[in-house]
Structure 1
């Protein structure tokens, strides 16, 4: 049975990597174009989906990646590329796909993954599971989802406060930041795949 220190330190570690405070501006920018009644549902769906992804990787993540022959660094590059495409399209208002994504779709991508349950969060829960056990990893996920909800919910109030034009300005700025974040994920993965080249 894990001691209290292990549980608390695991919760703090995942909170730092999950970074709901840092993600909240992205949430605000993404929900800004949505009807007010839909915004709350997007946040709840994003958190539930992120939780499901993290739990799934805690239980079977290592086995799935091994079966597919995919390393964590390769997973980072793939996630970073997807986020880069989304952020660039959002920045220049380029439509991807055949129709405007629904609230549930944006809640899952890019909010649930890779912004919340990204490569860093996934690697962290897999590390906690390997070092402290499945129970500690699951507790850390649950507590962090509870902590993240009021933080992300506050971003909805920010959208209402800024209004349409202010929210659009924030959306463009955070899309630009998201491009940089995506590039950092890609290079982090490349450093692991090709050591010394991207250091």
Structure 2
């Protein structure tokens, strides 16, 4: 079991950009105002468990349905592409349901905000390209970052400011756009080989 730091770094950056926990700070702060308290540890652990379970079971679920990983990765590249457009253009293509104050830590924070359709699709797209142990390390590192950001969200917002958060979102949006194109071209070649 050889760890590849380039793969870990790339997978970490892709997941970090898709999860966009820094860009979601305003949503986290809004949740805190509505609910009062969010359990950062619980939200981080639950989202990490969902991500790792999907990494292992996602492929089996796809086989059951009759879809190969490359086709799923191409579909994932479209989702990543649209998430990137949302981040760059500041538009909302995906509308979230109303927040239930009783279970805000799990829903919508752990799922679908952190471990949502974008990050789950991205995991299987990454699995088509990278070794599974490198992706697991990238997920764990992201969960640690998510925990730190959730714990310090109010301080981060005060420090960076709304303009800083918007700039970070746009930068990661462009990175995601490039990743979506790379995923699409890599997997489309594999399908037609």
TM-score by length of 1: 0.58
Aligned with residue 72 of structure 2, among 61, 71, 75? 75
Judge which range, 94-103 or 78-87, deviates more: 94-103
Secondary structure at 1:35 match in 2: helix
Q: Is the 8 A contact 2:80 2:122 kept in 1?
A: no
Alignment of 1:112-123 (within 5 A): 112-113=115-116, 114-115=118-119, 118-119=122-123, 123=127
Change (3 A) 1:160 1:51: farther
Q: Is the 8 A contact 2:74 2:183 kept in 1?
A: yes
Looking at CA atoms only, which structure, 1 or 2, has the larger radius of gyration? 1
Change (3 A) 1:89 1:127: closer
Aligned-pair CA distance for 1:153: 4.2
For structure 2, which runs of at least 5 residues remain unmatched after alignment? none
**CA–CA distance in structure 1, aligned partners of residues 66 and 40 of structure 2:** 33
Aligned with residue 53 of structure 2, among 52, 55, 64? 55
Change (3 A) 1:152 1:121: farther
Aligned-pair CA distance for 1:194: 3.0
Aligned-pair CA distance for 1:70: 2.6
**CA–CA distance in structure 2, aligned partners of residues 117 and 193 of structure 1:** 14
For structure 1, which runs of at least 5 residues remain unmatched after alignment? 1-5, 130-135
The residue aligned with 1:170 is 164
Change (3 A) 1:44 1:175: farther
Q: Is the 8 A contact 2:47 2:115 kept in 1?
A: yes
1:185 aligns with 2:182: no
TM-score by length of 2: 0.60
- Please give the root-mean-square deviation of Cα atoms over the aligned residues, in Å: 4.5
